[in-house]
Amino acid sequence: MAVIERLLALTLAGVAFSIGGTALAGEQPIRDQVVAAMQRDVAMRMATFAEKIETCRSERRRNLPRLDAGALEAFQLSRDMWVDAIGHLSFRNRDACDRAERLELAYAFGALAAVRTEYGLGPDPLAHDVLTKTIYPDANRQELAVHYGAMPEAARAHLERTLGTAPFDLGGVLSQLGHQ
């Protein structure tokens, strides 16, 4: 929830900044007009991304796949391995749900950064924070992906068939694991 609230706050701040800049557009140097227009584009894409996150979150709440405890036990894997694998698939499915909007926002930030560099301006103050905390996966998520890749292919295939490709209720699925 904090990420979405932060995105919305940053979006509103960006829109307020760009609206203020628009009133003086004729008086501003072209460089400032270009940067302001690109900041408005980033703000618009942030708002779209935040809306999509909410849509995906709603879908996730409605989707609770059922695990077959007997099938999981047959693979003779630790509970921690299952938790990591299910966590990885939860992130993968969530990212797939908002991928288009995530990519559009990353592109807008990248374009803004390139233009700011070309104009000799410093980095955009909110770009690093938003990119690293919202758009790109952190080290923990990368570790989950590595653990998932180390699982036997048959166990991965079983989980993928069971959990599908849509966002799902991670807590609800994990609660089905019990205390193996």
Q: Tell me how far CA of residue 77 lies from CA of 70, 80, 103, 111, in angstroms.
A: 12, 8, 35, 45
**pLDDT tens readout for residues 110-165:** 999 999 999 999 888 777 777 778 888 899 999 999 999 999 999 999 999 999 99
DSSP string, 22-90: HHTTTTS-HHHHHHHHHHHHHHHHHHHHHHHHHHHHHHHHH--PPP-HHHHHHTT--HHHHHHHHHHHH
Under the banding of pLDDT at 50, 70 and 90, the label for residue 4 is: low
Q: Which residue has the higher pLDDT, 12 or 48?
A: 48
**pLDDT tens readout for residues 90-106:** 999 999 999 999 999 99
